[in-house]
């Protein structure tokens, strides 16, 4: 195998909020937003790696941090074997030529006061290119170069003296791409390059990117939230959730046999022609993404996961377990007020049993049985007595999931996924239960 052009190792980027002098004078604690929290991947020369996930999961931060446009909190990035975060000014200057970024919004990323010629040639001017323009002046050389670049991205060389507002969204994105190509880079981060464009124009820009990759031998990191876009342009796809990579694999394999419950849910939420609701195997994603300021312990997806693993000694179905987990989270967030439950309980009765009946009807809509019912009622009786801490403790003791105790490792196989369900195995299948889908590992 060839040497990867890019190697990302345990990259971490935290944003710190409330850490100004005024904040500390006002006694506010600094808060960290764990936007990217220890991700690793490689990209081979000439490859397109997709980076997908819901809004806010850390995709753009990843792209910008590995290009050193943002300062990493921790981790390492090697480009052509060189440590990007340890480059001196000469090495960094060369790096800035070799890597480029294309942004999502072609309306705000181009300076409206500059002509297209100036926009595309600006990187050349900044880098003092050409050193030797031969028979021409530097300005003539750059004009010719820009005219050539415009034609290569499907625009006319006659557009050189026009301004961005004279172009459509698709054309502006082509201008952004021409600018990124000016320095003849090896690697480009494409940050949602077609998300702001009409669907009819998206395919044209994607085809252009594909052609340019072949023509110039480019390597891409293609960031997108739209899975259907990634499918056609990427060789491999990495799926991100709340600052972590949860699955990475060859595109077709990842789409045809997704392993991680998050990838499965993400794919199920993509409308697909000919697929009826009945044919869906896993429920589409529900619930909100937790805040990256206080991400869940262990697996970050566990608070929304449809197949979270119960403790070994507990016989509990997924729906009931989810209700208990949600109740625990509500306790922890201070969202459960016993006074309200007493008020809503049968006014004829003031006994603990009335409280428990009311609380059960509020928190679970399935019938609890056996040990599960016993632990649950014990917790509720503590709550009835006003001891919310003890109630929480009971729920944590008896219902703790392996998914919350340890962060699942991403393996180093060709198609790894970070999920406790199949750690140590390479295969996963999805089976259906009456209460929803359950992913199971093949041993
Ligand atoms: N400058 C900043 N200061 C504080 N928090 C930030 C900053 N920039 C991004 N974040 C937060 O970091 C997290 C990751 O943001 P990022 O933009 O990288 O996600 P994304 O997956 O690219 O989302 P989108 O598709 O919406 O751009 C989000 O919670 C975001 O609010």
Q: What is the pLDDT of residues 226-252, one digit of tens each?
A: 888 899 899 999 999 999 999 999 999
Mutate to test the pocket of ligand 1, among 58, 226, 229, 262 (most ligand atoms within 8 A of CB): 58
Give 343's Cβ-side CA count (13 Å radius).
4
CA distances from 58 to 10, 42, 84, 94, 106 (A): 14, 17, 20, 27, 21
Q: Is the CB of 34 under 6 A from ligand 1?
A: no
Pairing of strands 74-79, 187-191: unpaired
DSSP structural state of residue 166:
G
User: Torsion-angle region of residue 386: left (phi > 0), alpha (psi -120 to 50) or beta?
Assistant: left
Distance in angstroms (rounded) separating the CA atoms of residues 208 and 249: 24
| Spatial CB neighbours of 305, under 8 Å, sequence gap ≥ 6 | 261, 262, 299, 403
Fold of 6-256: Rossmann fold (3.40.50)
The CA 194 to ligand 1 mean position distance, Å, reads 19
Question: For position 276, what pLDDT does the model report?
Answer: 46
Q: Is the CB of 244 under 6 A from ligand 1?
A: no
Distance in angstroms (rounded) separating the CA atoms of residues 75 and 8: 8
Q: Is the predicted pLDDT of residue 434 greater than 60, yes or no?
A: no
Question: Ligand 1 atom 12: the closest Cα is on which residue?
Answer: 35
Phi, psi of 129 (to 5 degrees): -105, 135
Q: Is the CB of 421 under 6 A from ligand 1?
A: no
The structure tokens 């172009």 sit at 167
Q: What is the pLDDT of residues 325-370, one digit of tens each?
A: 888 888 888 888 888 888 888 877 778 888 888 888 888 877 888 8
For 384-398, what is the mean pLDDT?
Answer: 89
**pLDDT range class, residue 284, cuts 50, 70, 90:** low
Q: Is 201 helix (H, G, I), strand (E, B) or coil?
A: helix
Residue 365: name the closest of 332, 400, 396, 327 by CA: 327
**pLDDT range class, residue 427, cuts 50, 70, 90:** very low
Domain map of the chain by residue range?
Answer: 6-256, 261-292+404-441, 318-400
Q: Which helix (H) or strand (E) holds 355?
A: helix 352-363
Task: Give CA 197 to chain center in angstroms.
Answer: 21
Q: Is the predicted pLDDT of residue 398 greater than 70, yes or no?
A: yes
Q: Is the predicted pLDDT of residue 382 greater than 70, yes or no?
A: yes
CB 209 within 8 A of CB 170: no
For 86-95, what is the mean pLDDT?
Answer: 96
CB 222 within 8 A of CB 230: yes
Q: Which of 179-193, 268-282, 332-346 has the lowest mean pLDDT?
A: 268-282
> Looking at this predicted complex, what is its ipTM?
0.98
Question: Ligand 1 atom 25: the closest Cα is on which residue?
Answer: 55
Pairing of strands 187-191, 99-102: parallel
Mutate to test the pocket of ligand 1, among 34, 35, 241 (most ligand atoms within 8 A of CB): 35
Question: For position 282, what pLDDT does the model report?
Answer: 46
**pLDDT range class, residue 273, cuts 50, 70, 90:** very low
331: tokens are 């306790």
Question: Ligand 1 atom 2: the closest Cα is on which residue?
Answer: 15
Give 267's Cβ-side CA count (13 Å radius).
23
Q: Is the CB of 57 under 6 A from ligand 1?
A: yes
Q: Is the predicted pLDDT of residue 81 greater than 50, yes or no?
A: yes
């Amino acid at each position: 195998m060839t040497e990867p052009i890019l190697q990302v190792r345990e990259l971490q980027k935290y944003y710190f909020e409330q850490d100004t002098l005024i904040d500390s004078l006002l006694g506010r604690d600094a808060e960290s937003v764990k936007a990217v929290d220890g991700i690793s991947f490689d990209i081979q020369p000439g490859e397109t790696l997709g980076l997908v996930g819901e809004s806010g999961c850390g995709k753009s931060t990843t792209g910008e941090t590995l290009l050193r446009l943002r300062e990493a909190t921790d981790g390492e990035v090697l480009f052509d074997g060189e440590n990007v975060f340890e480059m001196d000014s000469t090495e960094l200057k060369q790096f800035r030529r070799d890597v480029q970024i294309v942004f999502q919004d072609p309306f705000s990323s181009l300076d409206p006061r500059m002509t297209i010629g100036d926009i595309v040639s600006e990187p050349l001017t900044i880098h003092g290119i050409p050193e030797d323009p031969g028979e021409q002046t530097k300005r003539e050389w750059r004009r010719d170069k820009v005219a050539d670049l415009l034609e290569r991205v499907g625009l006319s060389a006659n557009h050189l003296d026009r301004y961005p507002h004279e172009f459509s969204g698709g054309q502006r994105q082509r201008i952004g791409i021409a600018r990124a190509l000016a320095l003849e880079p090896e690697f480009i981060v494409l940050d949602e390059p077609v998300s702001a464009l009409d669907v009819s124009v998206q395919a044209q820009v994607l085809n252009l990117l594909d052609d340019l990759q072949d023509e110039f031998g480019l390597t891409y990191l293609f960031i997108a939230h739209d899975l259907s876009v990634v499918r056609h342009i990427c060789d491999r796809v990495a799926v991100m959730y709340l600052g972590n990579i949860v699955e990475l694999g060859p595109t077709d394999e990842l789409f045809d046999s997704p392993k991680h419950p998050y990838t499965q849910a993400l794919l199920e939420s993509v409308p697909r022609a000919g697929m009826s609701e009945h044919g869906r195997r896993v429920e589409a994603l529900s619930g909100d993404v937790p805040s990256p300021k206080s991400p869940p312990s262990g697996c970050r997806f566990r608070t929304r996961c449809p197949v979270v693993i119960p403790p070994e000694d507990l016989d509990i179905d997924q729906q009931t377990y989810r209700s208990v987990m949600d109740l625990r989270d509500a306790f922890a967030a201070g969202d459960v007020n016993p006074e309200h439950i007493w008020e809503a309980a049968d006014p004829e009765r003031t006994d603990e049993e009335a409280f428990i009946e009311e609380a059960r009807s509020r928190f679970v809509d399935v019938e609890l049985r056996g040990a599960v019912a016993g632990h649950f009622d014990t917790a509720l009786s503590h709550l009835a007595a006003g001891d919310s801490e003890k109630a929480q403790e009971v729920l944590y003791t008896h219902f703790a999931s392996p998914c919350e105790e340890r962060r699942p490792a991403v393996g180093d196989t060709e198609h790894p996924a970070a999920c406790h369900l199949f750690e140590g195995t390479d295969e996963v299948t999805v089976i259906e239960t009456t209460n929803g889908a359950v992913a199971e590992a093949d041993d």
